[in-house]
Structure 1
Amino acid sequence: MLRFAHTQFLWALLIIPVFFIAFWAVSYWKRKAIASLGDKEVVKLMMPQVSTTRPWWKFSFFALACAMLIIGIADPQIGSKTEDIKRQGADLMILLDVSNSMLAQDLAPSRLENAKRAIAQLIDRLHSDRIGIVVFAGEAYVQLPITTDYSAAKLFLNTISTDMVPTQGTAIGAAIDLGMQSFDFKNGTGKAMIIITDGENHEDNAVDAAKNARSRDVSVHVVGVGSEAGAPIPVIENGRQVGFHTDSTGQQVISKLSEDMCKDISSAGGGVYVRANNANSGLGIVMDQINKMQRKTLDTKSFKDFEDRFQFFLGIAFVLLLVEFFISGRKNMRLSAIKLFEVKKS
């Protein structure tokens, strides 16, 4: 298999025909200028060193050298051998709480940012597993459909904020149901969910949703973010904190980690519960459990190695330029004086 590492440079090959057209136009103009001086044979005797073929040879070698140089810069590569690769992977769905309570700062710099940083580290640990992201507050939305494109996963992760779900609340059950809809149950591989939340569920029965997931062989793990003491919820306007959320009596709202709810969900979902802190996100423990799941083996054939071949084209370009340099644009008078096939008259 042949490929080019820098295909954009191949567009420069279009300049080669332009070179030939320009050279032909200049040659045609020179011939007309010489013809205007007088009789062709007389002018030829006046300029015995002028050659009509050598400039074309010189230019042809130069143009071909340019073409080889461009191809070399594009770096042609050849797949040296193929290898059958067996990859094993599981399906993993991240359910991330983006309610306003996740702005609380009992985890630095906030619960949400701490969780996003932990997810990014988890993505770096993945190899063949597929990952998807669901965000939820009062409602749940698929932020990233399940995929093996880890670069896309990180890109979508960076865009997550509490502003992306207009309805406030913590609908963990709806998030679990949406995560279940995102799985492909026909592929037979292991499946798991990781819920990252402070556990303040006010919208639905998350425990029943976790039980339903477990009944379909999907394990539900929970990472609790926050502290038992809790923290006030900042009010953010135009990217700046302008105060804290208050209740109807004017008292600051303190958001606390609801560990009982988190434990109930993980227990119903057949998973583990881990409490995150500033030193440990807890996802390492969860991934240890997920790595024990059944993974489907996928047989794929791909090129193992690609070897650069640019040096051959650069070498050819150098030789062509060397030959072009030593070709004179004028006739060699000594060689022209040799008449090998001329019959001398006695």
Structure 2
Amino acid sequence: MLDSFTFENPGYFWLLVLLPLLATWYFWKRNLQQAELRLSSVQGLKSQRSILPVLRHGLFALRLIALACMIVAMAKPRSSDVSTRTSSTQGIDIVLSIDVSASMLARDLKPNRLDALKEVAAEFIKGRPTDRIGLVVYAGESFTLTPVTSDKALVLAALEDLRYNTVLENGTAIGMGLATSVNRLKESTAKSKVIILLTDGVNNAGFIDPKIAGELAVEYGIKTYTIGIGTNGMALSPIGILSNGQFRYGMAQVEIDEKLLQEIAVTTGGKYYRATDNEKLEEIYEEIDSLEKTEIEEFKFTNYEERYRPFLLIAGLLLIFELLLRFTIFRSFI
């Protein structure tokens, strides 16, 4: 509340220095404000004590308070309400292309690769309030989970509901995932278009060559960041299905076509990363977030409400009250 209370003319507060000077002057002259009558003896006069002579000094106090209120009013107190509006001067359209093959359930990242990715990707999406984001998922084939949209709630809900299922043919169609992502962005009018493609394997499915998909990205001016997810060496991965439909886990060699991912990234002007654990995956998304910054222009609007009127009203009432007392109860002391 006090943070929004300001004074347009604070220099008038220097006048408050006069108040203690006036009080000092009044104290010094207090005995000279009434006429004196000298008598040789007051023995024959009836003595009557009254509190009025003491209270009459309150009249001057009322006047000082009224002056203080008028000085505050001259300083023009006012409260301010600041509202902001932001506009993006360089919007970015981003597609997260996510591998959802069975190997993404490997447990070298905690609790598994897919869930670790979902947590990090959700924070990345929340940190891009002015950008449009879409989701593409792929395994042996690919499809658009959400179009490129500014509705972050929709994208986050779709990401949260992302699970491995048997709807998509199993496999890793990197070319299909990249081509579908390019298709989502090719008609975008954004000044910057970005694909973040994540996989944990090698291209072994689909009918589109990843290199051709990368060339399409270059043709449409789309930068691609590629991420290979998975530890170096062996990882606890799904290796079969039990009779109850659950996966059977065992140690399996992690195979990522890093050469292909590096080539796609370099060709499109992006960068390749390797995420071997949860912390590294988080660092990668933070780095991409810092590399792809949106220029934001912020406008601030300040609405002022003048607050000097109550001080003038108080000053006026005090002066009227002082005059009433002076010419009624304290009339005999004037």
Compute the TM-score of the two structures, normalised by the length of structure 2.
0.57
Q: Report what 2:100 is aligned to.
A: 98
Provide the secondary structure at the position in 2 that maps to 1:162.
coil
Provide the secondary structure at the position in 2 that maps to 1:126.
coil
Deviation at 1:268, TM superposition (A): 2.2
Residues 264 and 159 of structure 1: is their aligned pair in 2 closer, same or farther, counting only changes over 3 Å? Answer: same
Provide the secondary structure at the position in 2 that maps to 1:233.
strand
Q: Is the 8 A contact 1:220 1:269 kept in 2?
A: yes
Q: Which runs of structure 2 are paired with 1:171-250 in the superposition (5 Å)?
A: 171-183=173-185, 185=187, 187-203=189-205, 204-234=208-238, 235=240, 241-244=246-249
Aligned partner of 1:278: which letter?
N
Please state if 1:109 is matched with 2:111: yes
Deviation at 1:284, TM superposition (A): 1.2
Aligned structure 1 segments of 4 or more residues deviating by more than 6 angstroms = 80-84, 236-240, 296-299
Cα distance in 2 for partners of 1:239, 1:90 equals: 45
Deviation at 1:82, TM superposition (A): 8.3
Q: Is the 8 A contact 1:107 1:278 kept in 2?
A: yes
Contiguous gaps of at least 5 residues in structure 1: 1-79, 246-251, 306-346
Q: For each residue in 1:258-317, what CA deviation from the matched residue of structure 2 results, as whole angstroms up to 9, or x when unmatched?
A: 3223212212222111112221211111222222xxx69899x9x999xxxxxxxxxxxx
Q: Report what 1:25 is aligned to.
A: none
RMSD: 3.2
Q: Is the 8 A contact 2:174 2:202 kept in 1?
A: no
Q: Is the 8 A contact 1:208 1:268 kept in 2?
A: no
Deviation at 1:94, TM superposition (A): 0.3
Cα distance in 2 for partners of 1:279, 1:131 equals: 23
Q: For each residue in 1:74-109, what CA deviation from the matched residue of structure 2 results, as whole angstroms up to 9, or x when unmatched?
A: xxxxxx998764224210000000011111111111
Between Structure 1 and Structure 2, how many residues are aligned?
Answer: 216
Residues 224 and 238 of structure 1: is their aligned pair in 2 closer, same or farther, counting only changes over 3 Å? Answer: farther
Q: For each residue in 1:244-267, what CA deviation from the matched residue of structure 2 results, as whole angstroms up to 9, or x when unmatched?
A: 37xxxxxx6534333223212212
- Which of 126, 143, 153 aligns to 1:151? It is 153
Percent identity reads 27
Q: For each residue in 1:27-68, what CA deviation from the matched residue of structure 2 results, as whole angstroms up to 9, or x when unmatched?
A: xxxxxxxxxxxxxxxxxxxxxxxxxxxxxxxxxxxxxxxxxx
Residues 81 and 226 of structure 1: is their aligned pair in 2 closer, same or farther, counting only changes over 3 Å? Answer: closer
Q: Is the 8 A contact 1:274 1:286 kept in 2?
A: no
Q: Report what 1:129 is aligned to.
A: 131
Q: Is the 8 A contact 2:136 2:142 kept in 1?
A: yes
Report the structure number with the largest CA radius of gyration.
Answer: 2
Provide the secondary structure at the position in 2 that maps to 1:219.
strand
Aligned partner of 1:221: which letter?
Y
Q: Is the 8 A contact 1:101 1:255 kept in 2?
A: no
Cα distance in 1 for partners of 2:93, 2:83 equals: 27
Contiguous gaps of at least 5 residues in structure 2: 1-80, 304-334
Compute the TM-score of the two structures, normalised by the length of structure 1.
0.55
Q: Is the 8 A contact 1:137 1:165 kept in 2?
A: no
Cα distance in 2 for partners of 1:242, 1:92 equals: 33
